[in-house]
Structure 1
Amino acid sequence: MLLYLRLPRQMKGDRTSAVLIATLPALLATLCCQNVTRGDTWTELNGSAVEFWSFRERFHRTYGVNSQQFDQRLRSFQDAIKRHVHLNSLSTSPKSAQYGINQFSDLSQEEFRNLYLQASSDQAPLFPGPKTEGLPAKFDWRDKTVVAPVPNQLACGSCWAFSVVGAMQSVHAIGGSQLMELSVQQVLDLKLVLQPEYPYKAKTGICHFFSPSHGGVALKNFTAHGFSGQEEAMMGHLVEHGPLAVIVDAVSWQDYLGGIIQHHCSSQRSNHAVLVVGYNAAGEIPYWIVQNSWGTTWGDEGYVYIKIGGNVCGIADSVAALFL
């Protein structure tokens, strides 16, 4: 069986700023006295020292100042700053997505893709059914307390598992059970136990067997369809069946902070699995509400919003509904 699968705004006068003000002079003095490995490092730091030092403090980076890794991360960080300027210059529509510094800002684009964008999917058949009539203007499964907290896959290509398990958790709760976090680590068994019984390790390991008598959640069936050109029908699918596991193109998500992604979001290749938990079609720009698996420091507390219509980010290409 094949499964088709904000950074919070910097506040003036906060503790990070105080630490930065106190420690930046010491950093700069140290650099002046050290034998820096590359002649242009000081020039580059002079233009972005505040931002990079604040970034290192906020995301607990431990690489030393006078090191090759520091040089590499600084250059990736500066490339990211340039990328943010370009992406934000294109975001001129109401409630457009905003791009800036987050936990991925010291990764090169190649590193980011290799670490986080390794999902793939077969082409799903187009949805054959009619669109659902009389849909509400807004619908969010979180309002019904059937969506688990935002997970963090860490540097492991397990997004597809988080997407599927997220959908299973919600469908299980929609069916009348208590919302429980299931074990992503055991997902290949298709009979899930609770997260504490089988904790996530951010790597593939040997499967631990549980007897059939052990309580768990089993996946009975699923559907996988493409909804390109039929996103209103996809809205009905969400309302009827629960949160949907989808495969998207997330290349530009490395720099996402919040707002509605409306364009410049595709390399023409699906590469990341996420969970669509709702939509809002009441405003000027209708959008999908999407839970990611990169923790709550990414995006809007772990969520991303994608414009409905036009198959933005390939969000309608491969859409799975699960049945327990």
Structure 2
Amino acid sequence: MLYLRFFVVATLCGVLLSDEQVQWNQFRDFMVKYQKSYRNDLREVTKRFEVFKVSLERQKQLNLLEGSAVFGVNKFSDLTTEEFQARYLSGLQPSTLSIPKAQKVNLSVDLPAKFDWREQDAVTGVKNQLKCGSCWAFSISEGLESCYAIHYNKLVSLSTQQFISCDRNAQSYGCQGGTLGGAVDWLIEGKIIVVPDANYPFTSGDDTRPDCKANLPQKGVRLLNHTVKDYLDNEKGMAYDLNLVSPLSVTVNANIWQDYRGGIVRYHCTNTSIDHAVQVVGYDMTNDPPYWIVRNTWGPDWGVKGYIYIAMDKNLCGLAQTVYAFTKAEGVNL
């Protein structure tokens, strides 16, 4: 607190070092832009400013190393890496599922050089999991939305809260995490009808898990069939399935995503320590390097309006290792 008071007085007197002055100005603008609740708490402001300076240095180093992606200040810049991982990368439980390797085949259909399911009205708007470790639920519900839209030309936002509150199998723990395989098993084995988001909106952003809502309407989408494959060293095959089947629900390592602002991630995104689940909605092979278009669940004010671009053919971030495609779904009373 005393440090902060000195800092403010020194700022007014113009005696700070220029770098420190610039950093403080950035942090002040950051707190206002993201409406940080601690703005009037001197102790917390002091603490978060120190974290912010560490983030600036980390972002500087990433930009020097990366080359094409852009890393910089965003809404997560006042979190330590440990805090960020605990809050946003704790939602994927380890999976024991054995993933079959996708066969390499001679492509009988010429792939378009670029493709984006958003342009086909098969992708809902970017969502935000907030403090709930529910990436697994968002990834699967989004895949089901897209599958239904592709087959029935009707895009319906489906309830993620239903997964969080009602999926109680051994691999699903609400905001404390789950697996893609566990969520799919729950859908298939229980013949679950996932209701529209309007009938069961997301309420677990505060990291709570309310009891499953009783008497849900018999209205929504039911998953009938899916595939799960490992496309390691076979990302052209992955693009083939994305183009001809549906957007893909995948697991990734998202550690360096904390600072992502835009551009194409090409390096330093490991394919081990998988900790997050997202949806791949398209690709662009006309670019150098070619890249995947990946939809995240940290809100539209992160990344490129909620998306991140990841270079193809390198299994960057482990994106090609566990890939779900939803091949058949049916609407119920929609």
TM superposition score normalised by structure 1: 0.83
1:80 aligns with 2:52: no
Q: What amino acid does structure 2 have at the position aligned with 1:208?
A: K
CA apart distance, 1:65: 4.9
Q: Structure 2 stretches of 5 or more lacking a match?
A: 11-15, 168-186, 330-334
CA apart distance, 1:61: 0.5
SS in 1 for 2:45: helix
1:185 aligns with 2:161: yes
C-alpha distance in 1 between matches for 2:152 and 2:106:
26
C-alpha distance in 1 between matches for 2:41 and 2:160:
39
Q: Which of 58, 69, 94 pairs up with 2:44?
A: 69
Alignment of 1:1-324 (within 5 A): 31-32=8-9, 46-65=21-40, 67-92=42-67, 96-118=68-90, 119-120=92-93, 121-122=95-96, 123-128=98-103, 130=105, 132-133=107-108, 134-187=110-163, 188=167, 190-201=192-203, 202=205, 203-210=208-215, 214-266=218-270, 268-322=272-326, 323-324=328-329
CA apart distance, 1:29: 8.8
User: Is this contact kept in 2: 1:252–1:266, CA < 8 A?
Assistant: no
User: Is this contact kept in 1: 2:194–2:220, CA < 8 A?
Assistant: yes
User: Is this contact kept in 2: 1:131–1:232, CA < 8 A?
Assistant: no
C-alpha distance in 2 between matches for 1:267 and 1:130:
24
User: Is this contact kept in 2: 1:278–1:289, CA < 8 A?
Assistant: yes
C-alpha distance in 2 between matches for 1:218 and 1:267:
32
Change (3 A) 1:208 1:99: same
Which segment drifts farther, 213-222 or 285-294?
213-222
User: Is this contact kept in 2: 1:98–1:257, CA < 8 A?
Assistant: yes
Q: What amino acid does structure 1 have at the position aligned with 2:269?
A: C
CA apart distance, 1:30: 8.9
CA apart distance, 1:109: 0.2
User: Is this contact kept in 1: 2:141–2:158, CA < 8 A?
Assistant: yes
- Aligned residues: CA RMSD: 2.3
C-alpha distance in 2 between matches for 1:197 and 1:42:
55
User: Is this contact kept in 1: 2:271–2:316, CA < 8 A?
Assistant: no
SS in 2 for 1:57: helix
User: Is this contact kept in 2: 1:31–1:42, CA < 8 A?
Assistant: no
Which residue pairs with 1:3 in the alignment? none
User: Is this contact kept in 2: 1:185–1:198, CA < 8 A?
Assistant: yes
CA apart distance, 1:208: 1.2
User: Is this contact kept in 2: 1:258–1:304, CA < 8 A?
Assistant: yes
User: Is this contact kept in 2: 1:251–1:267, CA < 8 A?
Assistant: no
C-alpha distance in 2 between matches for 1:294 and 1:66:
26
C-alpha distance in 1 between matches for 2:30 and 2:39:
14
Q: What amino acid does structure 1 have at the position aligned with 2:304?
A: D
Which deviations, in whole Å up to 9, do the C-alpha atoms of 1:235-266 show, x marking residues without a partner? 01111220100000000000000000001112
CA apart distance, 1:64: 3.9
Which segment drifts farther, 62-71 or 110-119?
62-71
User: Is this contact kept in 1: 2:66–2:268, CA < 8 A?
Assistant: no
Q: Structure 1 stretches of 5 or more lacking a match?
A: 1-26, 34-40
User: Is this contact kept in 2: 1:131–1:236, CA < 8 A?
Assistant: no
SS in 1 for 2:198: helix
SS in 2 for 1:245: strand
CA apart distance, 1:167: 0.8
CA apart distance, 1:112: 0.5
User: Is this contact kept in 1: 2:71–2:261, CA < 8 A?
Assistant: yes
Which deviations, in whole Å up to 9, do the C-alpha atoms of 1:196-218 show, x marking residues without a partner? 1101012322111346x711111
SS in 2 for 1:73: helix
Identity %: 37
Higher relative contact order (CA 8 A, sep 6+): 1
C-alpha distance in 1 between matches for 2:45 and 2:161:
33
